Every structure is written in structure tokens, then in C-alpha cells.
Amino acid sequence: MHKKIEPKPLTLHSLIHYSILNFANKPAVSFVGGNPLTYAELGNKIESVSALLFSMGLKKEDKVALLSHNMPNWVVAYFSVVSKGMIIVPILPDFTRDEIENVMVHSEAKVLFVSERLLSRADGLELPYLQAKILIDNLSIISNKKELQAAEKLPKINVKEDDTAAIIYTSGTTGRSKGVVLSHKSLTFTAMQSYTFHPINSSDVFLSLLPLSHTYENTIGMLYPIMYGSSIYYLEKPPTPAALLPALTKIRPTMMLSVPLIMEKLYKNQIQSKFSTSHFKSLIYKTPLFRKIIHHIAGKKLYETFGGRLAFFGIGGAKLDANVERFLKEAHFPYAIGYGLTETAPLLAGAGTHQTKLQSTGFAVQGVDLKINNPDKNGVGEIWAKGPNVMKGYYKNPEATNEVLTVDGWFKTGDYGIFDANKRLYIKGRMKNTIVGASGENIYPEDIESVINNNKFVVESLVIEEDGFLVAKVLLDLESLEKSFEHLKSVIEDKREKHIHWAQHLVKEVNAKLNRVSQIKRVDIIDEPFEKTASQKIKRFLYTKQIKKKDKTSTNKNS
């Protein structure tokens, strides 16, 4: 019988030390097409890279940055830093040169692990604190300002629970990155408590798709499996269907983490599109009994596509579309939902595969207090959290820290939520995104967007306020739309006219499903996909800022 592991003390040093000792001959990390490193081999590599860092003159609490796509050596580099009391600064692979420079300077990182693929992005930056660069692909030094002092023996470093383990810079949906300071305790505690939602053991196999520099994948997709001696496989290429499908067949994972976008695309392309080709098919699909049968059959096929032994498919990072979730439930697909933020390392609430309820993000993590602060008459208010997983603060930014952390330790998430009678949490939306209607009511753009996104021709959408009205910016699957116009033998010849005509029809279709205060005024069709964060959330601030800029220029012209 397997039981929950509780590292003592709650540090990443004791976590990795325990696993190397207890799972020495088990496979730890590997590329999909490679030979896995065992836990013993992983331990040896970690020690030799730590020795390399110490020979560069690094000491406890020095910062080391890590800019790389997922690979086994990512794990080696990470633990070579944190297990010896130094501080890791993971950088998202999609950060721009400016963002990388900002993070490196702000964190005062002395060493940078960088992958060959991203090397050019880190070249020629103004980095006053940087002493050395290490190529993560083969762990060789590519530049070094200091002479190496080979250590006779690695110094014994005492790592404490409250020591800082990582500073994670969020790309955030609101503009400037902030460095989230996470302690050893917060990360180790969250990994440990993941067990209460879905227990794992050393025979579990993880396939890792999301960036390891993102806290969600880092804690639940790396620290958690390593704590229990599971094995983790990484793709050598980006997770496109062409790279992913053979990997699923080869690895046959038992555990995977994902963002909603992956499953939403699958649902649209594989399920929805097949049942909207004719009136008869869509009529059948609208009948609950037939829909459930269809979903059940499709679910079996999907399960086989994922390798046929998946026990847990975790979805987090953004809200899952209600129709997609209904499909997963009726398909008996082993999905699970989680909610959290980088600031909470990240998990605050979750539901295992047996606990999911439509549109809920589940129950509070054991040992974490959640409350709805200042609820309105419907019970909706800001979600506040308190527990060992809450960050120490934002690095070198006491003002921002004081805005979100109360004196008695509550973290203000910035999300509106509500509990049901069973203490299940439901997220209503980001407070910053919430639009206040004419009569003072809260309008949650995410809810309207999920209605719009259910249209088979819509790829993604964003609802914003313009001149007191709700406007939807919509990216279309133009190829499918054009085909449907051909079927309709459209009278209108002009493409642009057709799109305007279709957009007006969409406004009517969407408004028929929305309450009075959430009605949209118009649909604007956009040409380019929206810019997104690592967890595939749209960077809303970029689009609301544009509106404000336009407003300013038009008022300037008028004045």
C-alpha cells in the first residue's frame, strides 16, 4: 500500500534527497525518444553541476536564471541550484529579449543556464551581474568572467523551509512582470498536498507538455512526480499534433497536465465539427440521450489516442469551456480541474477525476484556507487564501506586495468566486476584467466569451467595453466559414460583406443566450490571433490599452 510522503523538513533539498535514496534504480527523466536517467544518475548529475556552480564562486542565496525549453537537463539544472540553497529564476521560453534582460537585471542573476534553441535571444544583452553562461543541452560552460576554483568538497549547506527557493516572473495578463518569491516550504507543501487529489507512485508515467518555468507544470508536473519516484518524459519538439500523437502511443502516459486550449481545440475539430455538417446531424447531437451516446463513443476513441492508460488529465491555468467539460464528463474521460496562481505555488483548489462538478474548480487544498471576502448579495466576492503555499512577496517590490498580502497573511487573489453549499469553489472571473454595467451590476466577460467561442467558426474571442457598450473581438476560422458560404450558395459576392453579414448574425445568436446586461453591441473580426501568456490566457491589457489610447487620441483631436 502506498502512502503520502511528507519530506522533513519541507525543502526541495530533502525532497530530491529522499527520491534519490528511495528510487535509485527507477527511471526519472527522459526525452520521449531517449534513454531515461535513473534517480541515482539524476542525483550524480545534480551534484556535479552544483560543484560547477560553487567553483564559479556562487554561494547560498545567489540567483541562477534558467532559460530553456523542457528537457531532462532542465530538472538537473533546477535541483543543482535549489538543493544547495541557491535561488532559481526560471524564465519562460516565450519571453522577449527585453523581458529576459529585465528579469536578469532585476533578479541580479549571476549565472544563466540557456538552451541552444534560445541562445540567440540571450546574446548581446546588458547584464551587469552575469558572470557565466552554461549551455543546458550538454551542461558545458560557454562564457565565464571568473577563474574556476575547483572545490575539494562541496560545502554543506543548511537549507531551511523559509529560505527562498525560486523567484518566478509572471508574464501576467496585466503588463509588467513581477518576481514572485516562493519559499522551499511553499513549493514542497503544494507538491506534497497534490497527493490528496490524485495519489501517484513510482510506476506512474508523466508526459510533460507545458513549460517547466510555469509554476503549474513545475510543481505538479515535476516536483510532485519526483517526490514519488515517477518517471517524466519530455518532447524534443513543440507539442503539435504531429509530435504529440506518436509520443502518446510510445509513452502511454498515466498522468498529463494541460491548459484548456488543447482540449477545446480537440473538441471543436473532432466532435463539434462532425455534428454540424448537416441539419439532421446537429438535431441528433442536440438530443441529450444521443449526445451522451456520441460523447461516450468519442471518449473511448480519445482515451485510446492518449495511449489507453491515462488516469489523470489535469486542466488548469484558465477556465474550461462548459460544453467541452460536459463532453469530457459524458465521455468518462479522466479529467481533473485545478485553480491557483503563481503566488500560491500554484494550487489553491482542485478536484480529482472522481470529484469534478461542471464549471467548479473543486475544493480547497488540505491545509489551505479559502474565503470569499466581502461577498455581494449573491455570495460573489474576491477569493482570499491563507496557507504555507502563499508567496513571501514580490521581489524588491514592497508596494505591490502590500497590495495583495494582508498583515495577518491573507493573499488577495484578484479573482471573483463563490462557494456552493458543499464548499466547492466556482470562479466568476478576474476582478480586473470585470465590467461594471450601467446599473452597477458586474458583467464577467469570460462568461460571454465562452458563449461566443461555442460557435463552430470562432477560434477565440475577447469581450471589452467601448463607449459604454460591450464589443466582441473575434478571430475566425475563415477557411471553414468560406466553405459554409459555398454550401449556402450565398447571394452576396463580396467577402467583406459576407463577413459583416455573418458577424451581425452572430450578435443575434449570442445575445439570445445572454442575460439583458450582458448583451453585445457588435462583433469586430480580427486578422491575427490574440497575444497570450504561458498558460494560454489572452493578454487582455494589450487590447483594453489600445482602446484607451484611441480614446485619448480622439479626445485630443476633438479638443
Q: Is the dihedral of CA 318, 321, 327, 330 positive or negative?
A: positive
**Least confident residue range of 67-81, 84-98, 449-463, 492-506:** 492-506
Last residue of some domain: 411, 430, 449?
Answer: 430
Looking at the fold, whether 21 and 99 belong to one and the same domain comes out as yes
**Are 113 and 65 within 8 A, CB to CB?**
yes
Is residue 289 domain-resident?
yes
How does residue 554 score in pLDDT terms, banded at 50, 70 and 90?
Answer: very low
- The pLDDT assigned to 206 comes to 98
C-alpha 173, offset from chain centre: 12
Looking at the fold, whether 413 and 270 belong to one and the same domain comes out as yes
Integer Cα distance of 341 and 316 in angstroms:
10
Number of domains in the chain: 3
Question: How do strand 255-258 and strand 231-234 relate by DSSP bridges?
Answer: unpaired
**Can you read off the three cell numbers belonging to residue 419?**
462557494
CATH at residue 278: 3.40.50.12780
**pTM to 2 decimal places:** 0.90
Backbone angles phi, psi at 429, to 5 degrees: 150, 170
Is residue 552 domain-resident?
yes
Residue predicted with more confidence, 81 or 456: 81
Instruction: Note down the domain range covering 398.
Output: 259-430
Looking at the fold, whether 327 and 424 belong to one and the same domain comes out as yes
In this predicted structure, the answer to whether residue 482 has a pLDDT above a threshold of 70 is yes
Integer Cα distance of 279 and 275 in angstroms:
9
Mean of the per-residue pLDDT values for the chain? 91
> Where are the extended beta strands (E) located within 343-468?
347-351, 363-364, 369-373, 381-386, 393-394, 411-419, 425-430, 435-436, 442-443, 458-466
In this predicted structure, the answer to whether residue 490 has a pLDDT above a threshold of 80 is no
CATH at residue 77: 3.40.50.980
- The pLDDT assigned to 519 comes to 95
Looking at the fold, whether 513 and 388 belong to one and the same domain comes out as no
Give residue-wise pLDDT tens across range 235-262. 998 888 889 999 999 999 999 999 888 8
What is the per-residue burial (b if ≥16 Cβ within 10 Å, else e) of 518-545? bebeebebbeeebebbbbbbbbbbeebe
In this predicted structure, the answer to whether residue 64 has a pLDDT above a threshold of 70 is yes
Looking at the fold, whether 422 and 440 belong to one and the same domain comes out as no
In this predicted structure, the answer to whether residue 558 has a pLDDT above a threshold of 80 is no
Last residue of some domain: 430, 457, 488?
Answer: 430
Looking at the fold, whether 405 and 490 belong to one and the same domain comes out as no
Measured in residues, the chain has a length of 559
Backbone angles phi, psi at 542, to 5 degrees: -65, -35
- The pLDDT assigned to 537 comes to 85
**Least confident residue range of 2-11, 172-181, 340-349, 370-379:** 172-181
Is residue 193 domain-resident?
no
CATH at residue 523: 3.30.300.30
Residue predicted with more confidence, 71 or 170: 71
Looking at the fold, whether 413 and 462 belong to one and the same domain comes out as no
Looking at the fold, whether 537 and 485 belong to one and the same domain comes out as yes
Last residue of some domain: 172, 187, 202?
Answer: 187
Looking at the fold, whether 303 and 451 belong to one and the same domain comes out as no
Is residue 245 domain-resident?
no
Is residue 397 domain-resident?
yes
- The pLDDT assigned to 248 comes to 96
Is residue 225 domain-resident?
no
Give residue-wise pLDDT tens across range 419-469. 999 999 999 999 999 998 877 788 999 999 999 998 989 999 999 999 889
Provide the 3-class DSSP secondary structure of residue 146.
coil
How does residue 493 score in pLDDT terms, banded at 50, 70 and 90?
Answer: low
Is residue 378 domain-resident?
yes
Looking at the fold, whether 360 and 313 belong to one and the same domain comes out as yes
Looking at the fold, whether 496 and 418 belong to one and the same domain comes out as no
- The pLDDT assigned to 166 comes to 98
Is residue 328 domain-resident?
yes
The predicted model gives 210-215 an average pLDDT of 94
Name, in order, each residue with C-beta under 8 angstroms of 505's C-beta and a sequence gap of 6 or more: none
In this predicted structure, the answer to whether residue 174 has a pLDDT above a threshold of 60 is no
Provide the 3-class DSSP secondary structure of residue 59.
coil
In this predicted structure, the answer to whether residue 491 has a pLDDT above a threshold of 60 is no
Looking at the fold, whether 414 and 473 belong to one and the same domain comes out as no
In this predicted structure, the answer to whether residue 557 has a pLDDT above a threshold of 70 is no
Integer Cα distance of 79 and 187 in angstroms:
13
Angle at 426 between CA 420 and CA 430, to 5 degrees: 140
The number of helix segments (H) and strand segments (E) in the chain equals 18, 26
